[in-house]
Chain A
């Protein structure tokens, strides 16, 4: 099992009536009214400190990602964050998981291949190369990429990236969207033939096919929890087996929101308002922003209209206990969190690469450190051994950081260690 801490770098102090006063947290929120650059500088520093604390506390990896023009998570360049993390964790066995730089908005897209190679060099071969398609808000509405060309651009850039890392000779790339006469990457990554590739998705069938055909780790970055993801992930595993691949759980990544207290009641007391802030404010955007016309291919459009994928319930009407009960958030004492993660996510979805979001919405710095600390001390050690007994190899993790599967301690040993 590999467990990484994920960070969105959200605005932590939006006004109480934000979702009533503004139409969207993404694309159009007015910076001047809502943010202050010095304060935001503090957020970035807290974010880095929180991820480094997780790295020191025993997490296997630290994750950052790219978004634009929003208050929900604003690391426009995850590689700037990744560079700081890579340097500061040198000498450790923590993976730098970039989830990641967005290919369709990088021009030319070999820029991502270059920066990832830099990160791999700086970190001594600890990079996990996330290659996301990018959200329609970021790619179409903020960065001006034509919705109908979004996926095609991505696929071309993906192929170029993999070739640029591996080609021994200089080559010419005569693509539809990118033409380069002399591709000759400096630097190249340490990891050979290339760093492990993760592709985040949101459940579309065409991405399942793409992930399996390219033999990458498919990551579902969900805010609705494992219960809501079950049928979607089952769909992914069907594609995996249909295409004749093994059901190695490390083929799958999953993001889960987690808050840990000493007891279930204490978790509620400490974290309830931050969880509600996240779902009520940070995910506040008009539903049509998620799928501008042409972004989905025709087959997916027909399927989506016939049977809407989006959850029917409106999270704005839910409160903390609903989010916990429905599994959007896994919350409570270390034992509760451990059991639910194991049952619902790890075994329920067959996931080997778990990402946990431990800084949620308005959660302040000190409380975030507390959440990371409790998780690292009381939950993580009990989950780390999952999948060892089955003998799966995590081909989607930096080779130098893969531990040989060790015999799993008996349940009694685990309990006494807690």
Chain B
């Protein structure tokens, strides 16, 4: 059974809705730049863990302007630290996807004692001139799904980007998607390299990198940036998946996470 609660942090100026379900050890999931969807991946994880999925500031319903109270990455990381305190979670397994992977890694570097295990799925946070990360805000709405998913027309795309019919539902999905991209891009514009390389050495949690082999947004070579800087970390790739392997192959990726964290 899924529950939701809204936690106020940052002198009550930022309200974050947290969806949760399941039983077992605490697992916190940080979503990517396209907003939070409670999808089969989280349902699968909830069989082994108590999953907490917070929404990035500003992306919870009814509080879009909360995002204006955070001016930079340091503010955002401290917000997550406050959120965990408010949820009474001293130590968690942390999983993050894409932008959420970067946030999870920053949190694990800032407050290492809070993170028991760290799983990063196609995270951003580094930059290579020869293999630039695609700026997804420059893609047309029709092209974007093909950069993120291997099958841009399937059920996974519908889950991630919302309905295209009827018009009212499509408009609501469009607003939600645009605002989520805006509220997250605030912390990575114009290049998603905001100093993680100076802080990542502080990560002490055992770390697993999961990467879709056909990631067209953040190519697989970026896995090296993480694995060579986090001692003992390892990489598992996902065949037949792009930038969001957990969306296209939820059971397989959930199994990787479960085996790594150990329920």
- State the A residues within 8 Å of B (CB): 140-141, 144-149, 152, 176, 286-289, 292-295, 298, 301-302, 305-306
Q: Provide the B43-85 mask, 1 if CB < 8 A to any CB of A, else 0.
A: 0000000000000000000001101100100000000000000
Cβ-based interface call for B240 (8 A) = no
Q: Are A140 and B182 in contact (CB under 8 A)?
A: no
| Nearest-CB residue, chain B, relative to A136 | B137
Cβ-based interface call for B127 (8 A) = no
Cβ-based interface call for B153 (8 A) = no
Cβ-based interface call for B130 (8 A) = no
Q: Which of A148, A301, A302 contacts B186 (CB 8 A)?
A: A148
Q: When chains A and B are docked, how far (Å) is the Cα of A305 from the Cα of B141?
A: 13
- A152: B residues at CB distance < 8 A: 68
Q: Are A305 and B189 in contact (CB under 8 A)?
A: no
Q: Are B185 and A148 in contact (CB under 8 A)?
A: yes
Q: Are B186 and A305 in contact (CB under 8 A)?
A: no
Cβ-based interface call for B86 (8 A) = no
Q: When chains A and B are docked, how far (Å) is the Cα of A298 from the Cα of B182?
A: 10
Q: When chains A and B are docked, how far (Å) is the Cα of A146 from the Cα of B72?
A: 11
Q: In the complex where A147-B189, A148-B185 touch, is A298 in contact with B179 (Cβ < 8 A)?
A: yes
- Least distance between B253 CB and chain A CB atoms (Å): 26
- B175: A residues at CB distance < 8 A: 301-302, 305
Cβ-based interface call for B181 (8 A) = yes
Q: In the complex where A147-B182, A176-B71 touch, is A293 in contact with B189 (Cβ < 8 A)?
A: no
Q: Are B182 and A288 in contact (CB under 8 A)?
A: no
Q: When chains A and B are docked, how far (Å) is the Cα of A286 from the Cα of B139?
A: 9
27 A-B residue pairings within 8 Å (CB atoms)? A140-B190, A146-B185, A146-B186, A148-B185, A148-B186, A149-B186, A176-B71, A286-B138, A287-B140, A288-B138, A288-B139, A288-B141, A289-B138, A292-B182, A292-B185, A293-B180, A293-B181, A293-B185, A294-B181, A294-B183, A294-B185, A294-B186, A295-B182, A305-B171, A305-B174, A305-B178, A306-B171
| CB contacts between A and B, total, < 8 Å | 64
- A301: B residues at CB distance < 8 A: 175, 178-179
- Least distance between A26 CB and chain B CB atoms (Å): 11
- Least distance between A227 CB and chain B CB atoms (Å): 27
Q: Which of B65, B137, B140 contacts A292 (CB 8 A)?
A: B137
| Nearest-CB residue, chain B, relative to A306 | B171
Known: A286-B140, A294-B185. 4 other contacts (CB 8 A): A152-B68, A292-B138, A292-B185, A306-B171
Q: Are B67 and A293 in contact (CB under 8 A)?
A: no
Q: State the main secondary structure of chain B at its contact with A.
A: helix
- A295: B residues at CB distance < 8 A: 182
- Least distance between B129 CB and chain A CB atoms (Å): 16
- Least distance between B14 CB and chain A CB atoms (Å): 15
Q: When chains A and B are docked, how far (Å) is the Cα of A234 from the Cα of B183?
A: 32
A295, A301, A305 — which one has the most chain B CB atoms within 10 A of its CB? Answer: A305
Q: Are B138 and A141 in contact (CB under 8 A)?
A: yes
Q: When chains A and B are docked, how far (Å) is the Cα of A287 from the Cα of B138?
A: 10
Q: When chains A and B are docked, how far (Å) is the Cα of A365 from the Cα of B38?
A: 61
- A149: B residues at CB distance < 8 A: 186
Q: In the complex where A141-B138, A286-B140, A298-B65 touch, is A148 in contact with B178 (Cβ < 8 A)?
A: no
Q: Are B189 and A146 in contact (CB under 8 A)?
A: yes
- State the B residues within 8 Å of A (CB): 64-65, 67-68, 71, 137-141, 171, 174-175, 178-183, 185-186, 189-190
Q: In the complex where A141-B138, A293-B137 touch, is A148 in contact with B171 (Cβ < 8 A)?
A: no
| Nearest-CB residue, chain A, relative to B173 | A305
Q: In the complex where A286-B140, A302-B175 touch, is A148 in contact with B71 (Cβ < 8 A)?
A: no
Q: In the complex where A146-B189, A148-B183, A286-B140 touch, is A298 in contact with B171 (Cβ < 8 A)?
A: no
- Least distance between B135 CB and chain A CB atoms (Å): 8
Q: Are B179 and A144 in contact (CB under 8 A)?
A: no
- B138: A residues at CB distance < 8 A: 141, 286, 288-289, 292
Which 6 pairs from chain A and chain B are nearest by CB?
A: A294-B182, A293-B181, A293-B182, A298-B64, A146-B189, A144-B190
- B174: A residues at CB distance < 8 A: 305
- B71: A residues at CB distance < 8 A: 176
Q: When chains A and B are docked, how far (Å) is the Cα of A250 from the Cα of B35?
A: 45
- A302: B residues at CB distance < 8 A: 175
Q: When chains A and B are docked, how far (Å) is the Cα of A147 from the Cα of B174?
A: 17
| Nearest-CB residue, chain A, relative to B178 | A293
Q: When chains A and B are docked, how far (Å) is the Cα of A176 from the Cα of B68?
A: 12
- Least distance between A343 CB and chain B CB atoms (Å): 37
A149, A298, A302, A306 — which one has the most chain B CB atoms within 10 A of its CB? Answer: A298
- Least distance between A145 CB and chain B CB atoms (Å): 8
- A294: B residues at CB distance < 8 A: 179, 181-183, 185-186
Q: In the complex where A298-B64, A298-B65, A305-B175 touch, is A148 in contact with B182 (Cβ < 8 A)?
A: yes
- A146: B residues at CB distance < 8 A: 185-186, 189-190
Q: When chains A and B are docked, how far (Å) is the Cα of A306 from the Cα of B167?
A: 9
Q: When chains A and B are docked, how far (Å) is the Cα of A223 from the Cα of B68?
A: 33
Q: When chains A and B are docked, how far (Å) is the Cα of A141 from the Cα of B141?
A: 17
- A289: B residues at CB distance < 8 A: 138
- Least distance between A112 CB and chain B CB atoms (Å): 22
- A148: B residues at CB distance < 8 A: 67-68, 182-183, 185-186
A140, A146, A176 — which one has the most chain B CB atoms within 10 A of its CB? Answer: A146
A141, A287, A292 — which one has the most chain B CB atoms within 10 A of its CB? Answer: A292
- Least distance between A142 CB and chain B CB atoms (Å): 9
- B64: A residues at CB distance < 8 A: 298
- B68: A residues at CB distance < 8 A: 148, 152
Q: When chains A and B are docked, how far (Å) is the Cα of A298 from the Cα of B68?
A: 11
- B178: A residues at CB distance < 8 A: 293, 301, 305
- B185: A residues at CB distance < 8 A: 146-148, 292-294
Q: When chains A and B are docked, how far (Å) is the Cα of A286 from the Cα of B138?
A: 9
| Nearest-CB residue, chain A, relative to B67 | A148
- Least distance between A375 CB and chain B CB atoms (Å): 39
